[in-house]
Structure 1
């Protein structure tokens, strides 16, 4: 069994596994440092983050770091690939739904009525100047990079650490996993809707495997439960036919793009997933399972 270390960050479980035991300590330090830089750049929950500065100055182009430029760029590519189903301009809708602080804080407070929400302003209205390092959103809009920044971090960390230490690496941040390097044996992963739930085993030799669900980050409101996956067409928590989607793709960002799109917009995203040909496992509201495009079984590696 390869050495592994687990800790809590970003309100989820982080797990790093490496084939070389001697690399584990340094690799953990590097992953924590990368996550800290991403948090300072793109967290919605820090008043001092660059993302908060961009949102506070909606209507203006704001100078930002190269890291945030990259993270915004990734979010816009995800929006394009998903046909707008994964839209980074849902920030105001997420806040209106009640997810305005860390999820544990939201769950602990008394149920509050949802604010007034509306369809997303639209990712095509986000302005990004890579050369000058400037980002701008229209007035009334707010960016939320939660759907892609975590997956980007898993991708980046796995690739960098595998090259740096010359061994296979598996990075897991919440529901986003990325395998890099050539492992002696494929990694065996339990895919579950929520942490602690019974999972189904799959094997992963490379690429990204992500799970998006509306069953995990949820909270009480006076009218029932709300969750963090927003349908950008309505600005409301998604109500599509699938409560959970797990997807394999060459990268965690691409896998997350399709898993989030399926939960956010349901049938509207299914055609794009089918055309992409990525293996997927969808869980319907009634618990019915649909497996697509050769979903990897325990005996067949993705």
Structure 2
């Protein structure tokens, strides 16, 4: 007998959060646990909270700062992602993201009138992930003077991974966690989850199935805002310190974890062809949408995917 599923959706971190389980009796408790985990991650790693640990680290740039084990883990994950991506996913782009105008939550940024002048006249410097100091034993983090960490590319995916694994084990059921464009499936569902993959909510989508692992979509088409020089977005090319303008506007990737999938999907948007070779070597299925809308499917992206009706 196929087990019934239950799902709940809400908004947090300026994105849609959805939790699905195949045991309806545990949905309430599982949602509470996911919200509690997201709250802890927010207090540790939010750029938009002056009381977060990450804000303290950035304010004290140039010094080693004691932090929680949670932030230690999140910074460690970001550095691994930077290494795997050849620096395309670099946590030291914080100052560049702020210079691009993304210094508050996205709705506040969008409502703000563009400032006169070129916001990129002074090109922000991205010091590079190798300059981050992390002492795991003592739980201390340091960044160079004048720089700032931004863990947005990995912290959300890490939270999806962590929640799915913990909740599946705790409740003995299959779990699907979606936080924005980052999805993670854990446990053993009776049949694979059916996922809609689209650039933006409401856009035409393709349907794929997900039984395990992570599926993420990174795009520069959603978190956009207006500047005096035109529109900008949140994905920074670490080589230039400016919003990426490569050949791909959206990338969807499957990998064993949401963090790994997000690392490659973000890298493709950030550095384009420079990241494509690493994605190809990794062998993860991917669906790339070029600036002109042309779609490229790689490494076994399911040919059975179909347009959602």
Give the TM interval when normalised to the shorter protein. over 0.9
Aligned match of 1:241: 247
- The offset of 1:118, in angstroms, is 2.7
Q: 2:265 aligns with which of 259, 273, 298?
A: 259
**TM-score of the two chains, using structure 1 as the length reference:** 0.98
Note the alpha carbon deviations across 1:80-119, whole angstroms, 9 max, x for none.
0000000000000000000000000000010124253334
Q: 2:173 aligns with which of 167, 177, 186?
A: 167
Q: 1:281 aligns with which of 277, 287, 293?
A: 287
CA contact (8 A) 1:127 1:137 kept: yes
User: In the alignment, is residue 188 of structure 1 matched against residue 188 of structure 2?
Assistant: no
Aligned match of 1:2: 5
Q: Secondary structure at the match of 1:156?
A: helix
Note the alpha carbon deviations across 1:190-247, whole angstroms, 9 max, x for none.
0010122121100000000000000000001111110000000000000000000000
Q: State which drifts further: 206-215 or 106-115.
A: 106-115
Question: Which blocks of at least 5 consecutive residues in structure 1 are unaligned?
Answer: none
Q: 1:108 aligns with which of 100, 106, 111?
A: 111
Aligned length: 300
Note the alpha carbon deviations across 1:249-301, whole angstroms, 9 max, x for none.
0000000000000000000000000000000000000000000001024469x
Q: 2:152 aligns with which of 146, 159, 164?
A: 146
Distance in 2 (CA, whole Å) between partners of 1:150 and 1:258 is 14
Distance in 2 (CA, whole Å) between partners of 1:164 and 1:195 is 31
Aligned match of 1:207: 213
Note the alpha carbon deviations across 1:48-102, whole angstroms, 9 max, x for none.
0000000000000000000000000000000000000000000000000000000
**TM-score of the two chains, using structure 2 as the length reference:** 0.95
Aligned match of 1:75: 78
CA contact (8 A) 1:92 1:117 kept: no
Distance in 2 (CA, whole Å) between partners of 1:114 and 1:299 is 41
Aligned match of 2:53: 50
> Which runs of 4 or more aligned residues in structure 1 lie more than 4 Å from their structure 2 counterparts after TM superposition?
297-300
Q: 2:94 aligns with which of 85, 88, 91?
A: 91
CA contact (8 A) 2:189 2:211 kept: yes
| RMSD between aligned residues | 1.1
Distance in 2 (CA, whole Å) between partners of 1:248 and 1:104 is 29
Q: 1:296 aligns with which of 277, 296, 302?
A: 302
Q: Secondary structure at the match of 1:84?
A: coil
